[in-house]
Amino acid sequence: MENFTFYNPVKIIFGKGEIAKLTDEIPIDKRILLLYGGGSIKRNTVYDQVIQALKEHDVIAFGGIEANPHYETLMKAVQIVKDKKIDFLLSVGGGSVLDGTKFIAAAVKYSSDPWNFMQNWDSIKDAMPLGAVLTLPATGSEMNCGAVITKAATQEKLAFRTPVVFPQFSILDPTTTFTLPPRQTANGVIDTFVHVTEQYLTFPVNAPLQDRLAESILLTLLEEGPKVMANSHDYDARANIMWCATMGLNGLLRLGVPTDWATHVIGHELTAKCGLDHGQTLAVILPSLLYIKRENKREKLLQYAERVWQLTSGDEDARVLAVIEKTREFFESFGVKTRLSEYKVSKDVIPSMLRSYENHGFVALGERQDINLKEIEEILMYSL
Amino acid sequence: MENFTFYNPVKIIFGKGEIAKLTDEIPIDKRILLLYGGGSIKRNTVYDQVIQALKEHDVIAFGGIEANPHYETLMKAVQIVKDKKIDFLLSVGGGSVLDGTKFIAAAVKYSSDPWNFMQNWDSIKDAMPLGAVLTLPATGSEMNCGAVITKAATQEKLAFRTPVVFPQFSILDPTTTFTLPPRQTANGVIDTFVHVTEQYLTFPVNAPLQDRLAESILLTLLEEGPKVMANSHDYDARANIMWCATMGLNGLLRLGVPTDWATHVIGHELTAKCGLDHGQTLAVILPSLLYIKRENKREKLLQYAERVWQLTSGDEDARVLAVIEKTREFFESFGVKTRLSEYKVSKDVIPSMLRSYENHGFVALGERQDINLKEIEEILMYSL
């Protein structure tokens, strides 16, 4: 096991009816900016529950934060925070709204153009306090200090991470996910699955507890994922998926082990350039990446085959190929396509993606830092 | 799954050589009281490493905190804190030293006799800041806000828990455990094992991730425990055991599931009355408790039999009995006896134990609150 540091001060409040506890989590003298997305929280009861819980508070609402939240939109909220003397940010929605809220929290305290800090995380010294009511299990943003932001003007999608944007609390009520469209439910399961594989399918370093924790989440997704697709109101299944999503990216899995975030990095660029859903990009890239890097990841792929998929017969090469195929089939069982051609994306997009990496000072990816631009091209070609 | 709240702000710094980071974790203007136990940290290099890391700080040392730390000893440290205007407490040692440090941190800020708060946790409003260098994986105290304290004068051993005594940081260097006596290593593995079963062997509530996390720790203890007994300097095995101990009682396992702390509650009384090691009491009580409560715990015992011990043949009753026996054998494989008679404890002690519970306002134990004094007597009789 490698040395590690772990710190995660987010308070998680989990379960049905827990939105009512909001009032205890935000001091009564705080002026709150409630941030949300496209308005689904107004169609289900979430918005009303939040307003009811905060009826003694001073609350201003700001809607319209996009999936893959736009820098341009978020900067409007930054101006409102300053104009209205807001002192607490409350994200109500999925990972995009929450990522946007983290960006706003840091941007308000940043002295120059906040887009600058996306490639200079250490320059972020302070942020406003924030909290979240989560309505879509997927990104894990509710219990970490990272965020992914898109600049529409330049089609850039970049991540940042800084401990000053940990939410003070996140309220997770699984019933808020009952009315999610199946496509979003499916994308969320896949996002969680890939977060786990990115911290697990690397090379072994004798960290059996971390391995088993990763396998625990994958096995639970295999069992519970089909249940939420079959019955959108299955409380326990929704709760189990929601907790898997949080545990999948709260930092525990990566402790003392190598990681490989290449699937997300390539996926972000595909969303920025071609508009695919985040979950769709992962369903496309992960099987291709595992195939291209199968020798590097051989030992862990065999362990994954045995412990998660019970694949123990056949020679090693056959098992490696079989488990990659099982992974692809799992994604497709949620109705998510795993080939770029099925999204009408051709190889013509590849050169501009590679140029984009070069423009952002590309550093090789993968647990061995050996996924260079040529290999990204191979992975994308294999994904067509 | 039941509703839950989770909050754990402890910063964990894990790995060989990490004690040197102490200097960054405590502000330079703090006057530190370094608390330790019987002096083993002076025989290995831990004390020297701590002093070296804090060579720019103002440090006073206080040694002699016992296993099962005594209220009487700790109150002497409270006086030193007040006299010397100490403003940071640093625990260097195992769970007993750390539990004692938590008690001191709260006691210094408490207006009446601190022993009063052991049965009135809500009356604790504030505590001094504290941190830890952990040298014995067992209690999980390094990443939680609980502690167990003994009053020598009355042979009472009681627990308290309050969020104000979370350590700010805990440094876990597995190499500090190389020189532990085998008895302490064994007790630590058993303590961890029992913490996990107390949050797992109850009744099912459809919380598959929590179940698998518990099983992950048990399986890792089964594999790694014998390795540390066979080779005290096996770094990875020591690291894996250490991380299991922390993860076993940092609050994650109990989220949304029933718990049964009866083994610890009975064990504490056995230590107070008869002087058995904490780990020894658990090795005695757990198999008896599982046997007496086997119908209540039937479904989870069968799951435990299958997933942790691969016991799948035979009828259900036979599997339940077999897995209890496997658990007993596991403890005995570490050289820890599992019968009271082997510790020269007779049934004569039982009446005074039961009286002690009555004196402290006994509330029935177990995941169904049905372990009353009569059942505690049965469990103890079966443990003879």
Q: Are B5 and A16 a contacting pair at CB < 8 A?
A: no
DSSP bridge partners of A172: A14, A134
End-to-end CA distance of chain A: 37
A263 and A198 in contact (C-beta within 8 Å)?
yes
Question: Residue with structure tokens 């990009």?
Answer: A281
Return residues 190-219 of B near A (CB < 8 Å).
Answer: 206-209, 212-213, 215-217, 219
CB contacts of A223 in chain B (<8 Å) are: 208
**Which pLDDT belongs to residue B211?**
98
Q: What residues contact residue B22 under an 8 Å CB cut-off, 6+ apart?
A: B50, B53, B54, B90, B131, B133, B171
* Contacts across the A-B interface (CB distance below 8 Å): 111
User: How far is the C-alpha of B170 from the C-alpha of B22, rounded, in Å?
Assistant: 9
Task: Show the tokens assigned to B250.
Answer: 């940092």
Indicate the residue of A1, A217, A224 with minimum beta-carbon distance to B236: A1
Q: Which residue of A has its CA nearest to B237?
A: A206
Best mutation target, A4, A209, A234, to test chain B (most B CBs within 10 A)? A209
Q: What is the pLDDT of residues A155-197, one digit of tens each?
A: 888 999 999 999 999 999 999 999 999 999 999 999 999 999 9
**Which pLDDT belongs to residue B84?**
98
Q: Are A5 and B16 a contacting pair at CB < 8 A?
A: no
CB contacts of A6 in chain B (<8 Å) are: 11-12, 14
Statement: residue A39 has pLDDT above 90: no
Q: Which of B173, B74, B92 is nearest to B132 (CA)?
A: B92
In this structure, what are the phi and psi dihedrals at residue B33, rounded to the nearest 5 degrees? -100, 115
Indicate the residue of A3, A11, A236 with minimum beta-carbon distance to B14: A3
CB contacts of B177 in chain A (<8 Å) are: none
Question: Residue with structure tokens 């330790």?
Answer: B36
Which DSSP helix (H) or strand (E) runs through A99? Answer: helix A95-108
Indicate the residue of A11, A16, A219 with minimum beta-carbon distance to B212: A219
Task: Show the tokens assigned to A2.
Answer: 């490698």
Q: What is the pLDDT of residues A274-328, one digit of tens each?
A: 999 999 999 999 999 999 999 999 999 999 999 999 999 999 999 999 999 999 9
**Is the minimum CB–CB distance between A224 and chain B shorter than 8 Å?**
yes
**Which pLDDT belongs to residue B155?**
86
CA–CA distances in Å: residue A327 to residues A158, A287, A288, A309, A336 = 27, 7, 11, 9, 12
Proportion of chain A above pLDDT 70, given as a percent: 100
Q: Are B216 and A219 a contacting pair at CB < 8 A?
A: no
**Which pLDDT belongs to residue A30?**
97
**Which pLDDT belongs to residue A227?**
98
Half-sphere exposure of B29 (CA within 13 A, CB side): 0
Distance from CA of B347 to the nearest CA of A (A): 40
Q: What is the pLDDT of residues A197-231, one digit of tens each?
A: 999 999 999 999 999 999 999 999 999 999 999 99
Half-sphere exposure of A275 (CA within 13 A, CB side): 4
Best mutation target, B2, B5, B238, to test chain A (most A CBs within 10 A)? B5
**Which pLDDT belongs to residue A124?**
98
Q: How do strand B31-35 and strand B58-62 relate by DSSP bridges?
A: parallel
Q: How do strand A31-35 and strand A88-93 relate by DSSP bridges?
A: parallel
Q: Which residue of A has its CA nearest to B243?
A: A209
Task: Show the tokens assigned to B374.
Answer: 């009569």
Statement: residue A371 has pLDDT above 90: yes
Q: Are B209 and A7 a contacting pair at CB < 8 A?
A: no
**Is the minimum CB–CB distance between B5 and chain A shorter than 8 Å?**
yes
Half-sphere exposure of B185 (CA within 13 A, CB side): 29
Distance from CA of A125 to the nearest CA of B (A): 18
Provide DSSP, A269-337: HHHHHH---HHHHHHHHHHHHHHHTTTTTHHHHHHHHHHHH---SS-HHHHHHHHHHHHHHHHHHTT--
Q: Are B212 and A216 a contacting pair at CB < 8 A?
A: yes
Task: Show the tokens assigned to B136.
Answer: 């014995």
Amino acid at A183: R
**Which pLDDT belongs to residue B26?**
98
Q: Which of A375, A290, A362 is nearest to A325 (CA)?
A: A290
CB contacts of B242 in chain A (<8 Å) are: none
Q: What is the mean pLDDT of residues A8-37?
A: 98
**Which pLDDT belongs to residue A360?**
83
- In the sheet that A88-93 helps form, which strands lie side by side, from edge to edge? A58-62, A31-35, A88-93, A130-134, A169-172, A11-14, B4-6
Statement: residue A126 has pLDDT above 90: yes
DSSP state of A66: P
Q: Are B9 and A12 a contacting pair at CB < 8 A?
A: no
Distance from CA of A241 to the nearest CA of B (A): 9
Sketch out chain B's domains with CATH numbers: 11-176 (3.40.50.1970), 182-382 (1.20.1090.10)
Task: Show the tokens assigned to B293.
Answer: 């409560």
Residue A315, burial from CB neighbour count under 10 angstroms (0-12, 13-18, 19+): exposed
**Which pLDDT belongs to residue A271?**
93
Per-residue pLDDT of chain B (384 residues; tens, 9 = 90+): 999 999 999 999 999 999 999 999 999 999 999 999 988 999 889 999 999 999 999 999 999 999 999 999 999 999 999 999 999 999 999 999 999 999 999 999 999 999 999 999 999 999 999 999 999 999 999 999 999 999 999 988 899 999 999 999 999 999 999 999 999 999 999 999 999 999 999 999 999 999 999 999 999 999 999 999 999 999 999 999 999 999 999 999 999 999 999 999 999 999 989 999 999 999 999 999 999 999 999 999 999 999 999 999 999 999 999 999 999 999 999 999 999 999 999 999 999 999 999 988 889 999 999 999 999 999 999 999
Q: Are A240 and B8 a contacting pair at CB < 8 A?
A: no
Provide DSSP, B167-222: -SEEEE-GGGGTT--HHHHHHHHHHHHHHHHHTTSS---S-HHHHHHHHHHHHHHH
Statement: residue A361 has pLDDT above 90: no
Return residues 229-268 of A near B (CB < 8 Å).
Answer: 236, 239-240, 243-244, 247, 255-256
